[in-house]
Structure 1
Amino acid sequence: MEYSPSEKGEPPLWTQIPQALCKRNETCLHLSCDFETYLRARPMNHNNMAINPASNQAAALPHLGRFQTCDIDEHGRNLSGWQVRYDQVTPGGFEGELTEFRSDWLQLVRDRSNQALVKSGMAWKGAIIFALPLSANGPAFCAGHTLQEPSLIVAHGENLPELSTPLQLDALGVAIEEGALAHALERQGSRFEITDLPRCYRLADPTVRTRFAALFDNLLNGEQACLQKLEYDSIRRGIRDAVMLQVLELVAPDEAPPLNPTARKRMVDRARDYALAHLDEPLSILDVCNHIGTSRRKLQYCFQETLGINPVAFLRTLRLNAARRELRESSRVELVQTVAARWGFWHLSRFSSDYRTLFGETPSQTLQRTHLC
C-alpha cells in the first residue's frame, strides 16, 4: 500500500524512521521509503511464520495478532493485558475485529465494532492510553461529555473513563508504558503532565488518523517476507519511535481541560448503581428517581445528554447484557428462566423477546452455542 503525503509535503508518519536506526542496519535506508520497503530492506528469518490475514487469530508472530468474533465478551477478552467489559446497547448481531501490535513498552490496538457499546475497565498496570476514532457513525460520550469532533482521549490505564461508542466504530488505542513516556517528555522539555489525566484533545490534523490506519493496513496486507521481519528489534523499534513522536505532537499542556465526570454523569451513575443493586425487583424508574432525588424528566435529560439513550432502555439493556454474560459463562446448562429472574426479569416471554431484539438470538440459542464450543 502506498501512502499519501500530508498537506505540508512531509513524508507519512511511518516513513520517518530515525537516522540512527538506519545506521544500525546492514542496508542504509532513505527516510522517504515506505513501511513495506523498510521491512524489505532487512534480512529474512525463514524460521518465523507470518500472519494470515484471512484467519481469525494470528499467533504465528508474537508481536502481531488479529482476531475476529461475533461474541462481544470474547472481543473484550482478545485485548491482551486489559480487563474490560463491553455492553451492547443497539439491536442486532455483534461483529468485532481486533488487531494488535505489541513491542516492549508500546501496544497498538485497532478496535472495530458494528454496534453501539458502553465500554469500561482498565488496561495493564503502568500504561498511559491514547485513544482516537478513525471513523464512526455518530458521536461518542465520555464521562458525560459529548465528543462530536475527532478527539484524542488520554488517560491512565488503571483509571479509564467510561466510554459510550457509536455504531460502526473504527478506533485506535495506543498504550505506552508510563516510564517510557515520562522519559521522552523530559528529554524533549514538554510541559505535558502525566498526572493531570484524563484529558480530551481535539484533533486538528485530519491526516493523523489516516497515518495510523495506514500502519495497520500495511501490517495486515504486507507480504510474508515483510511480516517476518517484525522479529527484528530494530524494525519494531522503528515503529515504536515513530508512534512515540506522533503521540508527543498530539498532546500539549493547558490545551484541553481535565475530562472530569459532569454532574449529569454522576447522577446517571447513581441511577445505574441503584438499579443494579435491586435486581430482586422489577425495574422501577419511580424508585430510581426517589432514591437519587430527582424528577423523571430531569433523569431522562441527564441520560440523553451523557449517553444518548433514555434511562428505561439503558438500564434494561445493562440487565440484558448481564444475563447474557451469565449464560455465556455458566459451566452448566441453566434454566433461562432462572437466569432471567436473577437479573430482574419476571416475564420470561418479554425477556426472551427483548433479548432476541438486542442480540439477534434467543437466550436458548446463546446457551446452546456456549455449550457446543
Structure 2
Amino acid sequence: MQLICSEFDEFEEALYGVQGRYVLRTRQQRDWQLNVVDLNGVALMSGREGASTVYTGIGLPGYFNIFLPLTGHESTVVDGHPFNRRRIGWMVPNAMFHINAKSPARWLTVAMSCELVLRWASVREDEFDFCVLHRNLVSNAQRNLGPLLWLARRLFHIEAQAPEVLHNEEAEEAARREVMDVVFRMLLPVDPLHAAPRHHRDHREILKRALELLDTLEIQSVYTEDICQAACASERTVRNVFNEYLGMSPHRYLMIRRLHGMRDAIRHAGPDDTITSICARFGVWDFGRFASLYRQYFGTLPAQSLRATKALSHP
C-alpha cells in the first residue's frame, strides 16, 4: 500500500501495528507519505511526516515493533532517549511509548506478530535474551543497519512494481523469515556468551537427522528452524554442525539446495511453466537476486535455461 495525503489524519489512521495520537509541533510543511508491505504476520512500514510531531501510543496487542529513523536522527527522541544513526527503538505489545520528532522525519518500522517472534526465539533459546520480550527499550544496534534497510527497499519496490510476485503463500513465508532473521541478528541483543550451556549432542546424529529431513520433504518447504525441530537441537548447535561438517551455515546450504531444486524444475519444465510460476513454487520473491545467484552458480540466467529446455522439448 502507498498513501500520499495532504492532512495527517488519514496518515495517522493508516499506521500499522500501533495505536496512538499525533500532536503537531509546527505548521505542516509537506504532504504525509506512507508505504506498507504486509506479509501476513510481519509488516514493514515507511513513513514521511509532513511536520515536526510528538507521537504517543502503544504497540497493538499481539505485535512487537522495531522503530528506526531514516532522517532527522539527531532531532528524534524516543521515551526520553536521543537518537543517532545507530540507535533503534523496540516496542512490546500494549506498552506506552513517546516519539518526539523536532523536525519532519522519515522512519521505518517493522511489526512482527507475537506468535512468530516467540517461535523464532524458541529455536534459539540458548542465544536469545528473553528480557526484550517484556519491556520497551532504546539501544544501539548490535550490527550494521544496512542489511535491513536494503531488504526493506527491495520489498517496497517489489510491492509497488509486481505485488503478485510477493503475495503467494511460499513467497510471503520466505520473506517473513528473512525479515525476522535480519531484525534479530542485526538489531536486538543476542548474547551467546552468557547463555546457559546445553547438554552435548552427537553432531553426526544431528546432521543425519537434518539431511534425512531434506531427503523426505520438498526442499522449498524446509527452513533452518525445521531442521532444528527435527534434530531436537538449538539453532546455534545446528549452525555449528553444518559449519563443522559441510563448511557452511544451514541457511546457505538450504539456499544452494533450493537453487539446485529450481534448476531441476527448469530443466524438466512443462510447456506452461514460466520462471514466475517456478519462483512462486519455491517461495522466491526477489527475481533479480535469484537470477544473479543462479548465474553465479550455473553460469547462465534462469530464463535462458528455460528457453533451452523448451527448445529441446519442442524443436
TM-score bin (small chain): 0.5 to 0.7
Q: By how many angstroms is 1:77 displaced?
A: 0.3
User: 2:146 is aligned with what amino acid?
Assistant: T
| SS, match of residue 61 in structure 2 | coil
1:114–1:167 Cα contact (<8 Å) kept? no
Partner of 1:251: 188
List gaps (5 residues or longer) in structure 1.
1-64, 256-373
Whole-angstrom CA distance in 1 between matches of 2:104 and 2:39 = 28
| SS, match of residue 108 in structure 2 | strand
Whole-angstrom CA distance in 2 between matches of 1:81 and 1:148 = 24
Whole-angstrom CA distance in 2 between matches of 1:116 and 1:216 = 27
| Change in CA separation of 1:161 and 1:183 when aligned onto 2, cut-off 3 Å | same
- Listed as ranges, the matches of 1:150-189 within 5 Å are 150-189=86-125
Partner of 2:129: 192
Whole-angstrom CA distance in 1 between matches of 2:75 and 2:68 = 12
RMSD between superposed Cα atoms in Å: 2.4
- Listed as ranges, the matches of 1:57-206 within 5 Å are 65-80=1-16, 82-136=18-72, 138-189=74-125, 190-193=127-130, 194-203=132-141, 204-206=143-145
Q: Deviations over 1:207-262 (max 9, x none)?
A: 2453144224423552xxx322233111111210110100111211579xxxxxxx
2:58–2:95 Cα contact (<8 Å) kept? yes
- Structure 1 vs Structure 2: percent identity of aligned residues? 16
Whole-angstrom CA distance in 2 between matches of 1:228 and 1:253 = 35
Q: Which has the larger helix fraction?
A: 2
1:66–1:97 Cα contact (<8 Å) kept? yes
Partner of 1:346: none
| Change in CA separation of 1:159 and 1:138 when aligned onto 2, cut-off 3 Å | same
Q: Deviations over 1:13-53 (max 9, x none)?
A: xxxxxxxxxxxxxxxxxxxxxxxxxxxxxxxxxxxxxxxxx
Whole-angstrom CA distance in 1 between matches of 2:69 and 2:148 = 8
User: 1:199 is aligned with what amino acid?
Assistant: L
- Listed as ranges, the matches of 1:15-34 within 5 Å are none
Q: By how many angstroms is 1:96 displaced?
A: 0.9
Per the normalisation by structure 2, the TM-score is: 0.54
Whether 1:215 aligns to 2:154 is yes
| SS, match of residue 28 in structure 2 | coil
Q: By how many angstroms is 1:137 displaced?
A: 6.2
Which of 190-199 and 139-148 deviates more? Answer: 190-199
Task: Answer 1 or 2: higher relative contact order, Cα 8 Å, separation at least 6.
Answer: 1
Whole-angstrom CA distance in 2 between matches of 1:113 and 1:106 = 22
Partner of 2:256: none
2:16–2:45 Cα contact (<8 Å) kept? no
User: 2:139 is aligned with what amino acid?
Assistant: Y
| Change in CA separation of 1:218 and 1:130 when aligned onto 2, cut-off 3 Å | same
Whole-angstrom CA distance in 2 between matches of 1:168 and 1:213 = 21
Whole-angstrom CA distance in 2 between matches of 1:147 and 1:137 = 6
| SS, match of residue 60 in structure 2 | coil
| SS, match of residue 91 in structure 1 | coil
User: 1:180 is aligned with what amino acid?
Assistant: L
1:137–1:168 Cα contact (<8 Å) kept? no
Q: By how many angstroms is 1:167 displaced?
A: 2.4
2:76–2:99 Cα contact (<8 Å) kept? yes
User: 2:107 is aligned with what amino acid?
Assistant: A
Partner of 1:320: none
List gaps (5 residues or longer) in structure 2.
193-315
1:134–1:213 Cα contact (<8 Å) kept? no
| SS, match of residue 154 in structure 2 | helix
2:39–2:175 Cα contact (<8 Å) kept? no
| Change in CA separation of 1:155 and 1:105 when aligned onto 2, cut-off 3 Å | same
Whole-angstrom CA distance in 2 between matches of 1:164 and 1:145 = 10
User: 2:166 is aligned with what amino acid?
Assistant: L
Larger Rg: 1
